C-alpha cells in the first residue's frame, strides 16, 4: 500500500487511545528496566499493560516477530529481540513497542513509540547520546507542526543534531519512520535525516511515526543472524526515541504522549491542540 491513508478526527481519536496505551505500557517497561532484569522481563511488563487495557500487540507476529517490544541494548540500533540477556549497570536500552485498539466499526488502529532507558551509573557519553536523540525527536515533531512537506521533519532533526554537536554523531539512514494508522507501517517514509527530496506534502489526516536513531560512530549497520537485531558495524552505541503524531483538523497531537506532547513542545514554542471529538 503506497497510498497515504488520511484519517478523520474520530479515527485519529481512536489512534490516540492506542497511543496512550502504548505510552503506559512503555512506562511499565521503562520502570522495570534495572540492572539484573532480563529484556524478556521488560517484554512481560509491557504486555501486562496491554492485557489490562484489552489491547493487542502490533509487534507480536509481525513477519513472525516473537515479542511485543524491541529491546535494543548499547550497540544494538533497533529490533533487538527480548530474551535472557540481563541488563548491567551502565547499559542503555531503547525500548520500542506498540498497541492496537479496535474502534466501533471493527477497524484496528495502531500506536508505535520508543524510549531509551539508562541503567544505573551510565557514562556521560551515553547520557548525552540519549538526551540528544530525545531532543532531536522533539525538534522534528516541533517542525512537523508547521511543515509543508514531510521531509522538513528529518531536516529539523539533522539541523538540531548538527547545531548542537557538529559531526560528533551519525544519524541512521538504513531505517526510517513511517505513516501509521490502520497498519503499523504505511506510506509515506519519514526520513530522520536531511535529504534533498522533501517528499510528499504534509496534510491534515496524516499520522506519522517519527523515530530518529542516532549513533556515536559510523552509520553502517548489519542485521544479525537472528534475522532482526540491527547492530552498528563499529560496535559503538546507538539510541532511538520515537513518537506517533497526528495531524488533525485543528493542529497536531502527539498520540503516544499522555499530554499530547504539550509539555515538551511548549518549550519549543509549539502549541498542541486536542483532537476535536
Ligand atoms: N516499531 C518498529 C518501528 O518503529 C517496528 C518494529 S517491527 C517488529 O517501526 F516486528 F519488530 F515489531
Ligand atoms: Co515505528
Kindly state the percentage of the chain with pLDDT values over 70: 100
Confidence of residue 2 (pLDDT cuts 50, 70, 90): confident
Kindly tell me if the per-residue pLDDT of 1 is higher than 90. Answer: no
CA 170 to chain centre: 18
Are the C-beta atoms of 207 and 7 separated by less than 8 Å? yes
Give 211 Cα–ligand 2 centroid separation in angstroms.
6
Residue carrying the nine cell digits 519512520: 177
Of ligand 1's atoms, which has the minimum distance to the CA of residue 185?
9
pLDDT tens digits along 102-117: 999 999 999 999 999 9
pLDDT attached to residue 83: 98
User: Which ligand 1 atom is at minimum distance from the Cα of 62?
Assistant: 10
Domain span at residue 241? 9-268
CA of 137 to the centre of ligand 2 (A): 13
Cα separation, 127 vs 242, in Å, equals 17
Q: For residue range 30-65, list pLDDT tens digits in order.
A: 999 999 999 999 999 999 999 999 999 999 999 999
Q: What is the pLDDT of residues 57-86, one digit of tens each?
A: 999 999 999 999 999 999 999 999 999 999
Q: For residue 274, tell me if it sits in a domain.
A: no
Residue 148 lies in a domain: yes
In the chain, pLDDT over 90 holds for what percent of residues? 99
- Rounded Cα distance between 263 and 267, Å, is 7
Whether residue 276 lies inside any domain: the answer is no
**pLDDT tens figures, 204-232:** 999 999 999 999 999 999 999 999 999 99
Of 186, 188, 214, 72, the closest CA to residue 129 belongs to: 214
CB 187 within 8 A of CB 179: yes
d(CA 37, CA 59): 21
User: Would residue 275 count as lying in a domain?
Assistant: no
> Which atom of ligand 1 sits closest to the CA of residue 65?
10
pTM: 0.98
Domain membership of residue 94 (yes or no) is yes
pLDDT for 37 equals 98
Q: What is the mean pLDDT of the chain?
A: 98
CATH number at residue 93: 3.90.230.10
Q: For residue 209, how far is the Cα from the chain centroid?
A: 6
Question: Of the bound ligands, which one is closest to the alpha carbon of residue 244?
Answer: 2
Lookup result for grid cell 554537536:
165
Structurally, how many domains does the chain consist of?
Answer: 1
Helix, strand, coil percentages for the chain (3-state, nearest 5): 30, 25, 45
Q: How many helices (H) and strands (E) does the chain have?
A: 5, 14
Distance CA 22, CA 190 (A): 20
Helix (H) or strand (E) holding 171: strand 170-171
Residue 3 lies in a domain: no
List, chain by chain if needed, residues with CB within 6 Å of any ligand 1 atom.
59, 62-63, 65, 70, 79, 96, 98, 112, 209, 211, 242
CB 186 within 8 A of CB 5: yes
Q: How many A from CA of 96 to the centre of ligand 1?
A: 7
C-alpha cell at 42: 521488560
Residue 230 placed within a domain = yes
In a domain, 53, yes or no: yes
Number of the ligand 1 atom closest to the C-alpha atom of 112 = 1
Query: Which helix or strand (DSSP H or E) is residue 238 part of?
Result: strand 238-240
Identify whether the C-beta of residue 118 lies closer than 8 Å to the C-beta of residue 224: no
Nearest residue CA, atom 7 of ligand 1? Answer: 59
Amino acid at each position: 500500500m503506497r497510498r497515504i491513508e488520511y484519517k478523520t478526527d474520530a479515527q485519529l481519536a481512536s489512534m490516540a487511545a492506542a497511543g496512550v496505551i502504548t505510552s503506559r505500557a512503555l512506562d511499565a517497561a521503562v520502570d522495570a528496566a534495572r540492572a539484573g532484569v532480563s529484556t524478556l522481563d521488560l517484554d512481560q511488563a509491557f504486555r501486562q499493560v496491554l492485557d489490562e487495557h484489552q489491547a493487542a500487540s502490533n509487534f507480536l507476529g509481525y513477519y513472525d516477530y516473537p515479542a511485543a517490544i524491541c529491546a535494543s541494548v548499547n550497540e544494538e540500533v533497533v529490533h533487538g529481540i527480548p530474551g535472557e540477556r540481563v541488563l548491567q549497570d551502565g547499559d542503555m536500552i531503547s525500548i520500542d513497542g506498540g498497541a492496537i485498539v479496535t474502534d466501533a466499526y471493527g477497524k484496528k488502529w495502531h500506536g508505535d513509540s520508543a524510549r531509551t532507558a539508562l541503567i544505573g551509573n551510565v557514562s556521560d557519553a551515553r547520557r548525552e547520546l540519549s538526551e540528544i536523540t530525545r531532543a532531536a525527536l522533539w525538534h522534528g515533531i516541533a517542525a512537523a507542526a508547521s511543515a509543508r512537506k514531510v521531509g522538513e521533519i528529518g531536516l529539523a532533526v539533522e539541523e538540531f543534531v548538527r547545531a548542537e554537536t557538529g559531526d560528533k554523531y551519525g544519524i541512521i539512514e538504513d531505517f526510517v519512520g513511517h505513516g501509521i494508522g490502520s497498519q503499523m507501517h504505511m506510506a509515506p517514509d519519514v526520513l530522520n535525516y536531511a535529504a534533498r527530496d522533501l517528499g510528499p506534502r504534509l496534510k491534515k489526516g496524516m499520522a506519522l511515526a517519527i523515530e530518529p536513531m542516532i549513533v556515536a560512530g559510523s552509520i553502517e549497520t548489519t542485521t544479525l543472524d537472528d534475522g532482526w537485531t540491527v547492530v552498528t558495524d563499529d560496535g559503538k552505541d546507538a539510541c532511538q526515541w520515537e513518537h506517533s503524531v497526528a495531524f488533525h483538523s485543528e493542529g497536531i497531537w502527539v498520540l503516544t504522549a499522555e499530554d499530547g506532547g504539550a509539555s515538551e513542545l511548549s518549550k519549543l514554542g509549539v502549541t498542541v491542540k486536542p483532537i476535536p471529538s
